[in-house]
């Protein structure tokens, strides 16, 4: 039997990544049609809910993610509001602090994920994907939704399916529901608030 506290720490990290169905289009868009991506902001705050499944392990949590340049702070809480963990990092290193005070530090998000979760956290990509855009400087494939915005994005081995959008604080259309998958990993995000 797996150590529950160890899994909670690993799942909390997975949930950060973080940071979660919409009606199908009657006429599917062409996969080779151009996609209109949202502009990327260097600063944002998003909050909502997430669920992550890795193999037979699963976690559901609320999240609040503050992103500013190269600095990220993600707070995770249980559906009842109890703190699960805080993930934070910048160019100098990253860390995961659990509610019971245990901490894991690493040089970068990939290393932290491999040490705490046994798979790499896609935080570098997720800070773009959650805004409705591909990560800059890396190859990607995209399929448009019926409105010309992103429907499906594939990058860094992840498949991101955008299910619905809502305006952020300045009126830019941002993802409100999305599902991300990677071999043996499924992450679902519902963004309730953009700032």
Which CATH number fits the domain that encloses residue 75? 2.50.20.10
pTM of the predicted model as reported, rounded to 2 decimal places: 0.81
- Return all residues near 56 (Cβ < 8 A) that are at least 6 apart: none
CA distances from 160 to 1, 78, 115, 119 (A): 32, 24, 24, 17
Rounded-to-integer distance, Cα 174 and Cα 40, Å: 10
Range of the domain at 33: 4-20+22-194
pLDDT tens-place string over residues 31-86:
456 899 999 999 999 999 999 898 888 889 999 999 999 999 999 999 999 999 99
CB 53 within 8 A of CB 182: no
* Number of domains into which the chain is organized: 1
CB 60 within 8 A of CB 49: yes
Q: What is the pLDDT of residue 2?
A: 43
Rounded-to-integer distance, Cα 175 and Cα 167, Å: 8
């Amino acid at each position: 039997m797996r150590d529950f506290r160890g899994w909670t720490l690993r799942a909390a990290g997975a949930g950060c990544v973080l940071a979660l169905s919409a009606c199908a289009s009657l006429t599917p868009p062409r996969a080779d049609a151009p996609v209109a991506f949202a502009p990327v902001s260097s600063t944002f705050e998003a909050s909502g809910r997430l669920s992550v499944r890795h193999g037979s392990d699963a976690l559901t949590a609320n999240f609040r993610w503050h992103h500013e340049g190269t600095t990220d702070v993600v707070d995770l809480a249980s559906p009842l509001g109890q703190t699960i963990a805080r993930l934070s990092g910048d160019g100098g290193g990253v860390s995961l602090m659990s509610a019971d005070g245990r901490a894991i530090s690493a040089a970068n998000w990939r290393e932290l994920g491999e040490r705490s979760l046994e798979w790499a956290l896609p935080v570098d990509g997720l800070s773009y994907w959650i805004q409705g855009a591909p990560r800059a400087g890396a190859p990607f494939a995209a399929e448009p939704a019926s409105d010309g915005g992103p429907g499906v994005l594939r990058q860094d081995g992840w498949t991101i399916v955008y299910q619905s959008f809502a305006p952020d604080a300045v009126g830019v259309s941002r993802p409100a529901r999305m599902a991300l998958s990677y071999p043996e990993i499924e992450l679902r995000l519902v963004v309730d608030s953009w700032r």
